[in-house]
Amino acid sequence: MKNPEKKKAAAEAPEQGAGLGDYSANPRIALDVPSECGGQRLDQILARLLAQHSRSRLQGWIRAGRVAVGGTPVLEPRQRLWAGDTIELAEAPDERAESSTPEDIPLQVVYADESLLVIDKPAGLVVHPGSGNWSGTLLNALLHHFADLDRLPRAGIVHRLDKDTSGLMVVARTLAAQTDLVRQLQARSVRRHYQAVARGLVESSGTVDAPIGRHPTQRTRMAVVSTGKAARTHYRVLERFLDCTLIECALESGRTHQIRVHMTTAGHPLVGDPVYGSGVSRLPAGPRFARQALHASRLALLHPLTGEAMLWRSALPADMAELIESLRRQAAATRSGPAFADEDEADGDGWDDDAWEDEPDLLGADADLEEDDEPPMPH
């Protein structure tokens, strides 16, 4: 089946021989194909010469008629070029970032330098503008506090957290950093750990390895489906209460609602989750909580400019801390005290404590904090 997006781009692009479209307001780049690139595809050559852009972004520009070779627009990314060919490219701004208005929304910035930001997102803050949430988002806040982000796709955002999930997110400040971070996410070298409160008593640590895609009949939900994208979640028990369990989850992939879907598949949906787990009738409902009890508590990556290994941690937000303290009091009133996981038990299948042992000291946060503990390509 033909790709309708390609047909649409071709219909909107200028005719062959007509020159580039009217992109006079956009920066233009002139390039000569070096000898070592002779015979390669146009998109491969551009990706090599313009490493700050992702290949998917460059392919989109080609199909939109923003690239000309020898003065003639080329709409096919696979067209091969030869040494000495001249390329002209009209860069495109990101329309979604352009259409967003800066808004003075408070942000907790954990770390900032010339290449990236790390934000501790509160629960209730939507990341991207979209249906029903065209304002009041993290993107709007970023454009207010860091005006230079209006030059970047999605204002530098490279991954998401659900509206009612709190915790750490990384944001790029340059195109080169954004492309590098996306590639790290794709290579699964970005480490993300979460703390969550799951319904029921989780017996042991484990791994859920199951593909995730759109629910076949409820399109606003995700589900484990054979046609979905590969997804893997490791989890371990931190503490058990009367009818729920504090767990830590580590992601190898970044699918929409991944932890929520996988823990429901494991028979332990998250406390407070309004979407998943309603059909798990054998479990106690758990305590009332206004959102899914999920917090992105630990983030590690390689700095896109220096290559240095970096690690940040985030304390549990007040609502989750209060929930856990309440559960501890209830457990203590019924038995001798909360049931913490045994050390050997916590080292469940797929869990690698050693991965964190050589990480650098905590960056951009209080060193006395407790250890409280999927990507869109820019185009």
| Helix (H) or strand (E) run with residue 198 in it | strand 191-199
Residue 377 to residue 53: CA distance in whole angstroms: 10
**Token pair belonging to 240:** 């058990």
Secondary structure of residue 377 in the 3-state scheme? coil
List 43, 162, 164, 273, catalytic entry:
162
Q: Is the dihedral of CA 9, 184, 314, 320 positive or negative?
A: positive
Exposure pattern of 292-301 as b/e (b: 16+ CB <10 Å)?
bbbbbbbbbb
Planar angle of CA 235, 238, 239, nearest 5 degrees: 130
Phi/psi region, residue 154 (left: phi>0; alpha: psi -120 to 50; beta: rest), is left
| Helix (H) or strand (E) run with residue 145 in it | helix 138-145
Residue 230 to residue 227: CA distance in whole angstroms: 9
Angstrom CA distances, 288 to 127, 169, 206, 326, stand at 25, 27, 26, 11
85 in catalytic set: no
| Helix (H) or strand (E) run with residue 100 in it | none
- Amino acid sitting at position 142: L
User: Which residue from 248, 236, 241 is spatially nearest to 205, judged by alpha carbons?
Assistant: 236
DSSP 261-278: HHHHHTT-PBTT-SSS-T
Planar angle of CA 7, 12, 18, nearest 5 degrees: 115
Are the CB atoms for 172 and 181 separated by under 8 Å? yes
For the chain, the C-alpha Rg in angstroms (whole number) is 24
Active site residues: 162
